[in-house]
Structure 1
Amino acid sequence: MANEKNLPLPSALILDEQSNLTLAELCRACSVRAEFIVELVDEGVLAPQGREPHRWRFSGAHLYRTRVALHLQRDLGINLAGAALALQLLEEVDELRARLRIMGGE
């Protein structure tokens, strides 16, 4: 998970794929309201574990996706549906690049 200039991680918060954040912790880490996270879940940007919001658990990848979606929305004016599509396309590009590296022996 790359740490982009516009999406810094708080120094006290280092997460990996196995991290387990609550809704409140994710909101604090991203400085957003719970309603924004609920919208991301409704739009399919995030797929937390757990059925109800008070039981949701998020990984480090969810934190990254939330920050990218927030950046796309706030700084670029992209709506949440567009952010969901952009995230999907960015992940596909990363996957294709990884496959090319493997095929190229790099």
Structure 2
Amino acid sequence: MNNIQQDIELSFDDLVRACDNQSSWVLSLIAESVIPATQKPELERYTGYHMAIARRAWRIHRDFDASASATALILQLLDEVEDLRRRG
């Protein structure tokens, strides 16, 4: 039996539902390069990892009323803190 697990594949609409049905929010995350898209966002396929990022970004936005650009910066800083903790 193969132990390699496949990541889930999500549509744009799936990603939007994960962010409280806020398509403009998801589009702003894509514009800020928080979530990558190589084609028109509505045609892109996303992974569970992208959904986790989108949901984390949505919680930051919701809890702190942060803009998409501020959320992108906060996520970057949180990633750096986590990286420093792993090194230390």
Structure with the larger strand share: 2
Aligned length: 84
Q: Deviations over 1:52-102 (max 9, x none)?
A: 1232122222112211221221211211111000001111111222223xx
Give the aligned partner of residue 13 of structure 2.
24
Unmatched 5+ stretches in structure 1: 1-15, 101-106
Q: Which moved more, 1:58-67 or 1:81-90?
A: 58-67
Larger mean CA deviation between 16-25 and 81-90 belongs to 16-25
Alignment of 1:44-59 (within 5 A): 44-48=33-37, 50-59=38-47
Look up the equivalent residue of 1:69 and give its one-letter code.
Answer: A
TM-score by length of 1: 0.67
Q: CA deviation at 1:41?
A: 0.3
TM (normalized to structure 2)?
0.78
Shift of 1:17: 8.4
Cα distance between partner residues in 2 of 1:75 and 1:32: 17
Name the residue aligned to 1:82: 70
Which residue does the alignment assign to 1:94?
Answer: 82
Give the direction of change, closer, same or farther, for the CA distance of 1:17–1:72 in structure 2 (3 Å limit). farther
1:52-67 equivalent positions in 2, closer than 5 A: 52-67=40-55
Residues 34 and 17 (structure 1), Cα distance of their counterparts in 2 relative to 1, 3 Å cut: farther
Q: In 2 relative to 1, CA 17–87 (structure 1 residues): closer, same or farther, beyond 3 Å?
A: farther
Counterparts of 1:54 and 1:70, CA distance in 2: 18
Relative to its length, the structure with more helix (as a share) is 2
